Structure 1
Amino acid sequence: MTNERPDLGFGGELDEFDPKAWDSAATKKSVSRPPKEATMQMAEAVGFKSREPKLAATVDRKIDRRRRTGRNAQFNLKARPETIEAFCRIADRKGWGLGETLEEAVLLLERELSGVK
């Protein structure tokens, strides 16, 4: 067995290759890029779907109603969406958290049912 490697057929061309002969300015010449908007329009025209999130003009952020109040019992229930919206609207109007709004609602109902005003 010999230690010679087989000829791949391009060794002679690499022997003559001189990297200094390349002009760095010539390699930097490239086609100018089109504007990003034009690129996006072309991509959408051929059906490309971007994975990048589209930023909304206005971001609707939920109000954080959590406070450290000592309330630690969970109370889950189902309600109609309009009831939940009304409940949250009352809490926002008064500046209360949802637990505080529930306590106030229970107090008002107890007063009404007991006849005390």
Structure 2
Amino acid sequence: MSVRERAPLGFGDELENFDPAAFAKPKRAANDRPKPEEAKKAAEAAGFRSREPIKAAAVPEEPAAPLRRRRTGRNVQFNIKTKAETIEAFTRIADANGWGLGETFERATELLERELATARN
């Protein structure tokens, strides 16, 4: 039996000059991260957009709506559909008098009962 030589593959000279150290990454410290400014510039250059909300210019905030939650003993919910204007008027009346929405509804119901009672008499 004779040992046959392998057929040449055509890149033998390049293998002799191959230096695996040329492909090694430079060693970095464990916390050696790029600065946020550098990362942002690289991302923008690559076409990435941030998902972070853009901070708006100093715009005066609207005054907060009055706090209408109080402990009142009311624990039954009553949902109705009405026009937006009616709801705005209802909440405007409640806010003007410093009442909660439940208290405003109770007062409106009492007034309506009184008005209907006098109309019947």
- Matching residue's letter, 1:10: A
1:74 and 2:94 aligned: no
Tell me the TM-score normalised to structure 1 length.
Answer: 0.55
1:88 and 2:100 aligned: no
- Matching residue's letter, 2:67: D
Q: CA RMSD in A?
A: 3.3
Unaligned 5+ segments in structure 1 are 1-5, 15-32, 34-42
Distance 1:54 1:84, change over 3 A: farther
Unaligned 5+ segments in structure 2 are 1-17, 27-36, 38-43
**How high is the sequence identity, in percent, across the aligned residues?**
51
User: Which range moves more in the overlay, 71-80 or 52-61?
Assistant: 52-61
Tell me the TM-score normalised to structure 2 length.
Answer: 0.54
Cα deviation for residue 53 of structure 1 reads 4.4
SS at match of 1:10: helix
**CA deviation vs aligned residue, 1:17-73 (integer Å, no higher than 9, x gap):** xxxxxxxxxxxxxxxx9xxxxxxxxx8xx9x67632444613232222011000000
**Which structure has the larger Rg?**
2
The number of equivalent residue pairs is 80
User: What is the distance in 1 between the residues matched to 2:97 and 2:88?
Assistant: 14
User: What is the distance in 2 between the residues matched to 1:102 and 1:67?
Assistant: 15
